[in-house]
Amino acid sequence: MIQKEVFNKQNISIATIWLFHISGLIGIIYSNSSWFVKATPLNLALSFLLVLINTEISKKTVFLFILCFTVGMIAEIIGVNKGFIFGEYSYGNALGTKVFGVPILIGINWCILVFITGFIADTFFHNFWQKILLGIFLMISLDLVMEPVAPVLDFWTFKSGLATFQNYLGWSLVSFPLHFFYQKLSPKISGPFPFHLFILQFLFFTILLIKINSFDT
Model confidence pLDDT, tens digit, residues 89-109: 999 999 989 999 999 999 999
What are the φ and ψ backbone dihedral angles of 54, each rounded to 5 degrees? -95, 5
- φ/ψ of 99, rounded to 5, equals -125, 115
Q: Let me know: does 201 contact 48? Beta carbons within 8 Å.
A: no
- Predicted TM-score (pTM) of this structure: 0.91
Q: 55-59: list long-range contacts, CB under 8 Å, 24+ apart.
A: 55/115, 55/187, 55/188, 55/189, 55/190, 56/187, 56/188, 56/189, 58/187
d(CA 183, CA 129) in angstroms, rounded, equals 9
pLDDT at 216: 53
The total of structural domains in the chain comes to: 1
Residue 133 CB burial class (10 angstroms; 0-12, 13-18, ≥19): middle
For the chain (217 residues), the mean pLDDT of every run of 10, in chain order, is 62 91 84 75 91 94 97 96 92 93 96 97 95 97 93 90 92 97 93 93 90 64
Q: Which helix (H) or strand (E) holds 26?
A: helix 9-30
- Domain holding 24, by residue range, is 2-216
Position 173 scores a pLDDT of: 96
Q: ∠ at Cα 12 (72, 155), nearest 5°?
A: 35
pLDDT given at position 215: 54
Strand bridging mode 156-158 / 89-91 = antiparallel
The pLDDT of residue 2 is 46
pLDDT at residue number 41: 85
Burial class from Cβ neighbours inside 10 Å (0-12, 13-18, 19+) for residue 183 reads buried
For residue 157, the cross-strand partners are: 90
